[in-house]
């Protein structure tokens, strides 16, 4: 009888161990954050604000944000003017530079939280180490109170590990607005809420899905 009791206890321990190990494996397979810039809170307050705290065109300076060194409040502007803001001037990309200590593997997901205060909604151009894609926003009204409340959208897409490399990587974001400029409305551009790169190291990316995925939303 006593032996059977011990046997049952042993069975329970084995089952519990299996559950713990199983949950550990599934946790490892889940997506992990590689880096995040800002917070997804439908506000650009953590970023570098233009003068008078309005979402207006900022001086055209080169933006290179180095993950691990740069600070959102000092190095990433809350707003990015679109290409047509100034009579069709070319888009100035904001670049994120980051290091990968290991060879990239699996599937990566980029999430870009955007805010807009203009009816002229800019498109987001993303270039990952030279691989371009163009994404259209579908802003939803944001009813959060505050000076910056406005339509918001988060663009998220997967891309394969082969877009990245061990060592230094560059990801460039641009605001594109191709309609003719209108004198009384120069506010087409992107407001940033947060940007995040995730990795699912166990994920598999279908070999023909990149083009399909990016083409669905882009005209590069
Ligand atoms: Ca934010």
Amino acid 121: pLDDT: 76
Check which CATH number belongs to the domain holding 190 and give it. Answer: 2.60.120.260
How many domains in the chain? 1
Q: Determine the distance separating the centroid of ligand 1 and the alpha carbon of 76, expressed in angstroms.
A: 12
Query: 78 is written with which tokens?
Result: 């809350």
Report helix, strand or coil for 32: strand
The larger pLDDT score, comparing residue 138 to residue 107, is at 107
Between the CA of 136 and the centroid of ligand 1 the distance, in Å, is 20
- What is the Å distance from ligand 1's center to 149 Cα? 11
What pLDDT shows up at residue 102? Answer: 95
Does 112 map to a domain? yes
55 in a domain, yes or no? yes
Instruction: For residue 118, count other CB atoms closer than 10 A to its CB.
Output: 17
pLDDT, residue 5, reads: 65
How large is the average pLDDT for residues 15-20?
Answer: 54
| pLDDT tens digit sequence for 152-169 | 789 999 999 999 999 999
The SS3 of residue 4 is: helix
Chain-centroid distance, C-alpha 220: 19
Does some domain include residue 63?
yes
Which pLDDT belongs to residue 188? 72
Each residue of 192-206: pLDDT tens digit?
999 999 999 999 988
Enclosing domain of residue 44:
32-219
Residue 3: inside a domain, yes or no?
no
What spacing in Å lies between the alpha carbon of 26 and ligand 1's midpoint?
30
Residue 60, pLDDT score: 56
How many CA atoms lie within 13 Å of 56's alpha carbon, on the beta-carbon side? 6
* C-alpha–C-alpha distance, residues 125 and 140, integer Å: 20
pLDDT at 143 over 60: no
Distance 41 CA to ligand 1 centre (A): 5
Q: How far apart are CA 24 and CA 9, in angstroms?
A: 23
Q: What is the pLDDT of residues 29-70, one digit of tens each?
A: 589 999 999 999 989 999 998 765 555 555 556 899 999 999
Give the residue from 153, 76, 168 showing the smallest Cα distance to 112.
153
CA of 155 to the centre of ligand 1 (A): 14
């Amino acid at each position: 009888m006593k032996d059977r009791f011990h046997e049952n206890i042993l069975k329970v321990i084995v089952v519990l161990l299996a559950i713990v190990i199983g949950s550990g494996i599934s946790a490892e397979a889940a997506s992990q954050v590689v880096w995040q810039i800002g917070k997804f809170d439908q506000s650009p307050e953590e970023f570098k604000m233009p003068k008078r705290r309005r979402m207006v065109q900022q001086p055209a300076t080169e933006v290179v944000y180095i993950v691990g060194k740069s600070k959102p409040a000092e190095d990433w502007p809350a707003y990015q003017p679109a290409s047509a803001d100034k009579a069709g001037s070319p888009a100035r990309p904001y670049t994120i530079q980051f290091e990968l200590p290991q060879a990239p593997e699996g599937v990566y997901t980029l999430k870009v939280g955007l805010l807009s205060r203009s009816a002229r909604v800019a498109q987001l151009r993303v270039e990952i180490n030279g691989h371009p894609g163009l994404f259209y926003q579908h802003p939803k009204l944001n009813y959060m109170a505050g000076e910056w409340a406005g339509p918001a959208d988060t663009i998220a897409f997967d891309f394969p590990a082969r877009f990245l490399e061990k060592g230094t990587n560059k990801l460039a974001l641009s605001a594109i607005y191709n309609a003719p400029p209108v004198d009384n409305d120069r506010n087409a551009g992107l407001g940033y809420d947060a940007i995040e790169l995730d990795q699912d190291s166990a994920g598999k990316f279908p070999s023909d899905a990149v083009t399909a995925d990016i083409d669905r939303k882009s005209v590069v």
